[in-house]
Amino acid sequence: MHHSTAIDTIATQSLIKPNPHLDAAIRNSQAHGLPAITVSALAGQFLAIQAQLIDAKRVLEIGTLGGYSSIWFASTGAHVTSIEISKKHKAVAEENIKVAGYADRVNIELGAALDVLPKLAERGEKFDLVFIDADWGEQWEYFDWAVKMTRKRGCIYVDNVVRTMLEDGTTDPAKAEGSLVAKVGKDERVTATLVSTVGSHKGRVDEAFDGFLMAVVKGEHH
Protein backbone atom coordinates (compact mmCIF):
# COMPACT_ATOMS: atom_id res chain seq x y z
CA MET A 1 0.00 0.00 0.00
CA HIS A 2 1.24 3.49 -0.80
CA HIS A 3 2.24 5.40 2.36
CA SER A 4 -0.27 8.15 1.66
CA THR A 5 -3.11 5.63 1.52
CA ALA A 6 -1.98 4.00 4.76
CA ILE A 7 -1.75 7.35 6.57
CA ASP A 8 -5.18 8.45 5.36
CA THR A 9 -6.79 5.13 6.22
CA ILE A 10 -5.26 4.79 9.69
CA ALA A 11 -5.88 8.41 10.68
CA THR A 12 -9.45 8.33 9.36
CA GLN A 13 -10.27 5.08 11.15
CA SER A 14 -8.67 6.33 14.37
CA LEU A 15 -9.89 9.93 14.52
CA ILE A 16 -13.19 10.18 12.67
CA LYS A 17 -16.29 9.17 14.61
CA PRO A 18 -19.05 7.50 12.62
CA ASN A 19 -21.47 10.15 11.33
CA PRO A 20 -24.57 8.84 9.55
CA HIS A 21 -25.43 12.30 8.17
CA LEU A 22 -22.09 12.67 6.43
CA ASP A 23 -22.26 9.11 5.13
CA ALA A 24 -25.79 9.69 3.85
CA ALA A 25 -24.70 12.91 2.12
CA ILE A 26 -21.89 11.06 0.32
CA ARG A 27 -24.20 8.19 -0.70
CA ASN A 28 -26.99 10.46 -1.91
CA SER A 29 -24.55 12.69 -3.82
CA GLN A 30 -23.10 9.66 -5.54
CA ALA A 31 -26.60 8.37 -6.34
CA HIS A 32 -27.30 11.69 -8.09
CA GLY A 33 -24.10 11.45 -10.09
CA LEU A 34 -22.21 14.25 -8.36
CA PRO A 35 -18.42 14.00 -8.69
CA ALA A 36 -16.53 12.54 -5.72
CA ILE A 37 -14.55 15.71 -5.01
CA THR A 38 -15.60 16.60 -1.47
CA VAL A 39 -12.97 17.36 1.13
CA SER A 40 -11.80 14.23 2.94
CA ALA A 41 -13.25 13.38 6.35
CA LEU A 42 -9.96 14.41 7.98
CA ALA A 43 -10.03 17.75 6.15
CA GLY A 44 -13.68 18.28 7.08
CA GLN A 45 -12.86 17.63 10.71
CA PHE A 46 -9.84 19.95 10.44
CA LEU A 47 -12.08 22.76 9.17
CA ALA A 48 -14.68 22.06 11.86
CA ILE A 49 -11.97 22.20 14.55
CA GLN A 50 -10.72 25.48 13.09
CA ALA A 51 -14.24 26.91 13.18
CA GLN A 52 -14.53 25.94 16.84
CA LEU A 53 -11.11 27.39 17.72
CA ILE A 54 -12.15 30.82 16.51
CA ASP A 55 -15.74 30.38 17.73
CA ALA A 56 -17.01 30.97 14.20
CA LYS A 57 -20.67 31.98 14.08
CA ARG A 58 -20.78 32.72 10.37
CA VAL A 59 -19.02 30.67 7.72
CA LEU A 60 -18.89 31.43 4.00
CA GLU A 61 -18.20 28.61 1.60
CA ILE A 62 -17.52 28.92 -2.13
CA GLY A 63 -18.38 25.62 -3.84
CA THR A 64 -21.17 23.63 -2.15
CA LEU A 65 -21.34 20.46 -4.28
CA GLY A 66 -23.56 18.09 -2.22
CA GLY A 67 -23.15 20.02 1.02
CA TYR A 68 -20.63 17.65 2.59
CA SER A 69 -18.28 20.37 3.84
CA SER A 70 -21.31 22.55 4.70
CA ILE A 71 -22.50 19.79 7.06
CA TRP A 72 -19.08 19.70 8.73
CA PHE A 73 -19.24 23.45 9.34
CA ALA A 74 -22.88 23.38 10.44
CA SER A 75 -22.07 20.60 12.92
CA THR A 76 -20.09 23.17 14.94
CA GLY A 77 -23.22 25.30 15.38
CA ALA A 78 -22.09 27.93 12.88
CA HIS A 79 -24.41 29.45 10.31
CA VAL A 80 -23.21 28.65 6.79
CA THR A 81 -23.69 30.62 3.59
CA SER A 82 -22.56 28.52 0.64
CA ILE A 83 -22.29 29.58 -3.01
CA GLU A 84 -22.98 27.06 -5.77
CA ILE A 85 -23.19 27.58 -9.54
CA SER A 86 -25.03 24.32 -10.33
CA LYS A 87 -28.79 24.10 -9.76
CA LYS A 88 -28.52 20.36 -9.52
CA HIS A 89 -25.72 20.44 -6.95
CA LYS A 90 -27.67 22.98 -4.91
CA ALA A 91 -30.78 20.77 -4.93
CA VAL A 92 -28.85 17.68 -3.83
CA ALA A 93 -27.04 19.69 -1.16
CA GLU A 94 -30.32 21.05 0.21
CA GLU A 95 -31.67 17.50 0.45
CA ASN A 96 -28.54 16.30 2.27
CA ILE A 97 -28.50 19.27 4.62
CA LYS A 98 -32.17 18.83 5.47
CA VAL A 99 -31.67 15.15 6.27
CA ALA A 100 -28.74 16.13 8.50
CA GLY A 101 -31.05 18.50 10.39
CA TYR A 102 -29.26 21.71 9.46
CA ALA A 103 -31.75 23.28 7.04
CA ASP A 104 -32.16 26.30 9.31
CA ARG A 105 -28.42 26.82 9.55
CA VAL A 106 -27.27 26.58 5.95
CA ASN A 107 -28.20 28.95 3.16
CA ILE A 108 -27.16 28.14 -0.39
CA GLU A 109 -26.84 31.01 -2.85
CA LEU A 110 -27.23 29.93 -6.47
CA GLY A 111 -24.90 31.56 -8.96
CA ALA A 112 -21.35 32.08 -10.11
CA ALA A 113 -19.26 33.09 -7.12
CA LEU A 114 -18.04 36.27 -8.80
CA ASP A 115 -21.69 37.35 -9.27
CA VAL A 116 -22.83 36.36 -5.78
CA LEU A 117 -19.86 37.66 -3.75
CA PRO A 118 -20.43 41.36 -4.62
CA LYS A 119 -24.09 40.96 -3.60
CA LEU A 120 -23.15 39.54 -0.22
CA ALA A 121 -20.66 42.37 0.24
CA GLU A 122 -23.32 44.90 -0.75
CA ARG A 123 -25.62 43.50 1.93
CA GLY A 124 -22.82 44.11 4.42
CA GLU A 125 -22.37 40.43 5.25
CA LYS A 126 -19.36 39.56 7.41
CA PHE A 127 -17.87 36.18 8.14
CA ASP A 128 -15.56 34.63 10.70
CA LEU A 129 -14.26 31.95 8.37
CA VAL A 130 -14.28 31.56 4.58
CA PHE A 131 -13.63 28.26 2.80
CA ILE A 132 -12.82 28.56 -0.90
CA ASP A 133 -13.31 25.30 -2.80
CA ALA A 134 -14.50 26.12 -6.33
CA ASP A 135 -13.18 27.11 -9.72
CA TRP A 136 -9.40 27.10 -9.50
CA GLY A 137 -8.87 29.74 -12.16
CA GLU A 138 -10.58 32.32 -9.98
CA GLN A 139 -9.01 31.53 -6.62
CA TRP A 140 -7.35 34.96 -6.32
CA GLU A 141 -10.59 36.85 -7.06
CA TYR A 142 -12.46 34.77 -4.47
CA PHE A 143 -9.67 35.38 -1.99
CA ASP A 144 -9.85 39.13 -2.54
CA TRP A 145 -13.61 39.15 -1.87
CA ALA A 146 -13.13 36.87 1.11
CA VAL A 147 -10.67 39.28 2.71
CA LYS A 148 -13.16 42.14 2.32
CA MET A 149 -15.90 40.15 4.04
CA THR A 150 -13.93 38.47 6.82
CA ARG A 151 -13.78 40.08 10.24
CA LYS A 152 -10.42 41.04 11.71
CA ARG A 153 -8.61 37.93 13.02
CA GLY A 154 -11.01 35.78 11.00
CA CYS A 155 -9.53 33.20 8.68
CA ILE A 156 -9.64 32.14 5.06
CA TYR A 157 -8.84 28.70 3.70
CA VAL A 158 -8.31 27.92 0.03
CA ASP A 159 -8.51 24.23 -0.87
CA ASN A 160 -6.29 22.41 -3.36
CA VAL A 161 -3.61 25.08 -3.52
CA VAL A 162 -0.71 22.64 -3.62
CA ARG A 163 -2.30 20.61 -6.40
CA THR A 164 -3.00 23.78 -8.35
CA MET A 165 0.68 24.71 -8.04
CA LEU A 166 1.75 21.29 -9.27
CA GLU A 167 -0.68 21.37 -12.18
CA ASP A 168 -0.08 25.00 -13.19
CA GLY A 169 3.69 24.61 -13.24
CA THR A 170 4.14 26.99 -10.31
CA THR A 171 7.02 24.73 -9.24
CA ASP A 172 8.96 26.44 -12.07
CA PRO A 173 10.29 29.62 -10.35
CA ALA A 174 9.69 31.56 -13.58
CA LYS A 175 5.96 30.83 -13.30
CA ALA A 176 5.68 31.38 -9.56
CA GLU A 177 5.04 35.11 -9.79
CA GLY A 178 1.42 34.97 -10.91
CA SER A 179 0.50 32.20 -8.49
CA LEU A 180 -1.96 32.51 -5.65
CA VAL A 181 0.76 32.22 -3.00
CA ALA A 182 2.76 35.02 -4.63
CA LYS A 183 -0.28 37.30 -4.78
CA VAL A 184 -1.34 36.53 -1.22
CA GLY A 185 2.23 37.09 -0.05
CA LYS A 186 2.09 40.65 -1.37
CA ASP A 187 -1.30 41.30 0.26
CA GLU A 188 -0.80 43.58 3.28
CA ARG A 189 -4.26 42.76 4.65
CA VAL A 190 -3.39 39.20 5.68
CA THR A 191 -0.77 36.91 7.16
CA ALA A 192 -0.79 33.57 5.37
CA THR A 193 0.83 30.18 5.27
CA LEU A 194 0.55 26.89 3.46
CA VAL A 195 -0.86 23.82 5.19
CA SER A 196 0.45 21.00 3.04
CA THR A 197 -1.34 17.71 3.38
CA VAL A 198 -0.60 14.17 2.41
CA GLY A 199 -3.32 11.67 1.89
CA SER A 200 -4.96 9.58 -0.74
CA HIS A 201 -8.53 10.48 -0.28
CA LYS A 202 -10.57 8.02 -2.38
CA GLY A 203 -7.41 6.17 -3.32
CA ARG A 204 -6.07 8.84 -5.69
CA VAL A 205 -2.39 8.23 -5.01
CA ASP A 206 -1.33 10.51 -7.87
CA GLU A 207 -3.00 13.34 -5.98
CA ALA A 208 -1.35 12.47 -2.66
CA PHE A 209 0.20 15.92 -2.28
CA ASP A 210 -2.21 18.73 -1.66
CA GLY A 211 -2.85 21.44 0.88
CA PHE A 212 -4.69 24.54 1.96
CA LEU A 213 -3.58 28.10 1.84
CA MET A 214 -4.53 29.57 5.21
CA ALA A 215 -4.73 33.27 6.02
CA VAL A 216 -5.69 35.40 8.98
CA VAL A 217 -7.00 38.91 8.42
CA LYS A 218 -4.82 41.41 10.28
CA GLY A 219 -6.20 43.69 12.96
CA GLU A 220 -7.87 43.70 16.34
CA HIS A 221 -10.96 41.59 16.87
CA HIS A 222 -13.43 43.31 19.17
29 vs 35: CA distance, rounded Å: 8
Binding-site residue total for ligand DHB (CB under 6 A)? Answer: 4
**Is residue 8 part of the contact set for Mg ion (CB under 5 A)?**
no
Least distance (Å) between residue 74 CB and Mg ion: 18
SS3 128: strand
Question: Taking CB within 5 to 8 Å according to partner kind, which of ligand SAH, Mg ion, ligand DHB, none is near residue 128?
Answer: none
**Is residue 139 part of the contact set for ligand DHB (CB under 6 A)?**
no
Residue 104-133 contact track with Mg ion, rule CB under 5 A, x = bound: -----------------------------x
Q: Which of 61, 94, 95, 133 binds ligand DHB (CB under 6 A)?
A: 133
SS3 126: coil
Residue of this chain nearest to ligand DHB (CB atom)? 37
Nearer Cβ to Mg ion, position 22 or 151? 22
104 vs 126: CA distance, rounded Å: 19
Backbone angles phi, psi at 194, to 5 degrees: -110, 130
Helices (H), the chain: 3-15, 20-31, 41-53, 68-74, 87-100, 113-122, 139-149, 161-168, 180-185
Nearer Cβ to Mg ion, position 35 or 169? 35
60: left (phi over 0), alpha (psi -120 to 50) or beta: beta
Sign of CA dihedral 177, 181, 183, 185: negative
Question: Taking CB within 5 to 8 Å according to partner kind, which of ligand SAH, Mg ion, ligand DHB, none is near residue 113?
Answer: ligand SAH
Q: Which of 16, 24, 37, 194 binds ligand DHB (CB under 6 A)?
A: 37
Binding region for ligand DHB (CB under 6 A): 37, 133, 159-160
Binding region for Mg ion (CB under 5 A): 133, 159-160
